[in-house]
């Protein structure tokens, strides 16, 4: 099935300057938001504390619920609406970790009934200690980093037949992470440093396909984090699973385009590299649109009808699929052209560069 007629020739690379500017602005806005908010809004899974989900018969504001909890010294809790409109469900997140769970559910229920009357239901109470939360946060960051690293190894071997180079890069990164962790560097800065080293090694070892894929994946994860920061959503274990799903989805799109570029480089040896990349993107455009559209239909159904439990998960996938499709066309592929400019002594950023 084809949605796009054969022979179409949209000048995607001609718009790469606009795309790079848009991506840079989105990444910069994300960085500003994260700095302004003091980092990602980690959920109880990562920050530690108690999470209480309550359902009321009447709609209340977070400030009213916070006032109701003053009688049990939980007025510093973070209150968020949960689920759809008119469901009147709320998440009460208590950052304190010195609270006893025994009897807490009844205390919260009694405090809410005293303020709002009958019709209060406590649906769940969960607690995560600070040590467990910290460990989970570190493991989540390492999961994303190692996923991107192993993807770089696969891309290098698959498209450039440089398995030895990619293994050397992996060993160098493992050594870098091991040595850096010995200096007591926080995991966040350690992962950022390791990602920069990964990109530097790709550059130094001439792993252009791997570098294009890695930059696109980092771009996608950062922008999804920006969407969460902008909408003030929590980063939980489920969202880490969504990030890893986005990495896999975005990579799948990128591999399809890269594979066609490699085929066309063998077929059209006399064409300019820019023309080959552009033709390859156009040839895979129908497949990209069909795959992304069908995936988005399912995710939209989850987002609208899935309920509050998976609402944030579906939101992450929704943003990730859109950004991942965009990055495979406007980020990963143009990186190859920039690389060609590097080897020829020029950087092909603007339209019409040789």
Pick from 353, 129, 143, 118: nearest CA to 245: 143
pLDDT, tens only, 10-48: 888 888 889 999 999 999 999 999 888 887 888 777 777
Tell me, what's the pLDDT at 347? 43
Q: Which of 132-136, 161-165, 202-206, 334-338 has the largest mean confidence?
A: 334-338
Q: How confident is the model over 96-115, as a mean pLDDT?
A: 79
Instruction: Specify the CATH number of the domain 13-42+132-344.
Output: 1.20.1640.10
Weakest mean pLDDT among 199-203, 230-234, 273-277, 337-341: 337-341
Tell me, what's the pLDDT at 41? 80
Q: Is the separation of the CB atoms in 264 and 280 below 8 Å?
A: yes
Chain-centroid distance of CA 346 in Å reads: 32
The percent of residues above 90 in pLDDT, for the chain, comes to 15
Tell me, what's the pLDDT at 85? 67
pTM: 0.79
CA separation for the pair 217, 212 (Å, rounded): 9
Tell me, what's the pLDDT at 56? 85
Domains 13-42+132-344 and 49-128 share a fold: no
Question: Does residue 323 carry a pLDDT above 90?
Answer: yes
Confidence of residue 326 (pLDDT cuts 50, 70, 90): very high
Tell me, what's the pLDDT at 128? 72
Instruction: Specify the CATH number of the domain 49-128.
Output: 3.30.70.3220
Domain ranges, ordered by start, for the chain: 13-42+132-344, 49-128
Confidence of residue 316 (pLDDT cuts 50, 70, 90): very high
Weakest mean pLDDT among 55-69, 78-92, 99-113, 236-250: 78-92
CA separation for the pair 208, 313 (Å, rounded): 32
**First CA to last CA across the chain, in angstroms?**
35
User: CB within 8 A of 336, min separation 6: which ones?
Assistant: 208, 209, 212, 261, 273, 277
Question: Does residue 342 carry a pLDDT above 70?
Answer: no
Q: Is the separation of the CB atoms in 91 and 79 below 8 Å?
A: yes
Confidence of residue 349 (pLDDT cuts 50, 70, 90): very low
Per-chain mean pLDDT for the chain:
81
CA separation for the pair 45, 135 (Å, rounded): 10
Question: Does residue 345 carry a pLDDT above 60?
Answer: no
pLDDT, tens only, 143-186: 877 887 788 788 877 777 777 877 877 787 777 777 766 666 66
């Amino acid at each position: 099935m084809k949605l796009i007629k054969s022979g179409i020739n949209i000048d995607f690379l001609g718009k790469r300057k606009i795309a790079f500017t848009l991506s840079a602005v989105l990444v910069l806005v994300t960085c500003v938001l994260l700095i302004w908010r003091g980092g990602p809004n980690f959920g109880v899974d990562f920050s530690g504390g108690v999470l209480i989900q309550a359902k009321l018969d009447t709609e209340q504001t977070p400030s009213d619920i916070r006032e109701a909890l003053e009688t049990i010294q939980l007025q510093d809790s973070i209150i968020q609406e949960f689920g759809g409109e008119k469901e009147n469900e709320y998440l009460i997140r208590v950052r304190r970790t010195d609270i006893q769970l025994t009897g807490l559910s009844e205390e919260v229920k009694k405090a809410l009934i005293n303020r709002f009357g009958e019709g209060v239901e406590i649906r769940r109470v969960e607690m995560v200690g600070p040590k467990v939360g910290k460990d989970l946060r570190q493991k989540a960051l390492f999961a994303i980093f190692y996923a991107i690293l192993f993807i770089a190894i696969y891309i290098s071997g698959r498209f450039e037949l440089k398995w030895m180079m990619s293994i050397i890069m992996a060993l160098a990164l493992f050594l870098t992470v091991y040595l850096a962790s010995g200096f007591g560097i926080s995991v966040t800065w350690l992962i950022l440093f390791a990602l920069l080293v990964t990109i530097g090694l790709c550059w130094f070892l001439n792993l252009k396909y791997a570098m294009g894929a890695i930059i696109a994946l980092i771009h996608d994860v950062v922008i999804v984090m920006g969407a969460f920061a902008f909408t003030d959503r929590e980063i939980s274990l489920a969202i880490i699973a969504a990030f890893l799903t986005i990495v896999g989805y975005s990579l799948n799109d990128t591999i399809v385009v890269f594979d066609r570029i490699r085929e066309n480089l063998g077929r059209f040896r006399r064409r300019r590299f820019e023309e080959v990349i552009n033709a390859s993107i156009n040839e895979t455009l129908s497949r990209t649109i069909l795959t992304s559209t069908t995936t988005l239909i399912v995710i939209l159904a989850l987002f609208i009808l899935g309920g509050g439990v998976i609402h944030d998960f579906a939101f992450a996938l929704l943003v990730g699929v859109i950004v991942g499709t965009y990055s495979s066309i406007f980020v990963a592929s143009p990186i190859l052209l920039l690389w060609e400019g590097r080897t020829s002594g020029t950087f092909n950023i603007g339209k019409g560069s040789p």
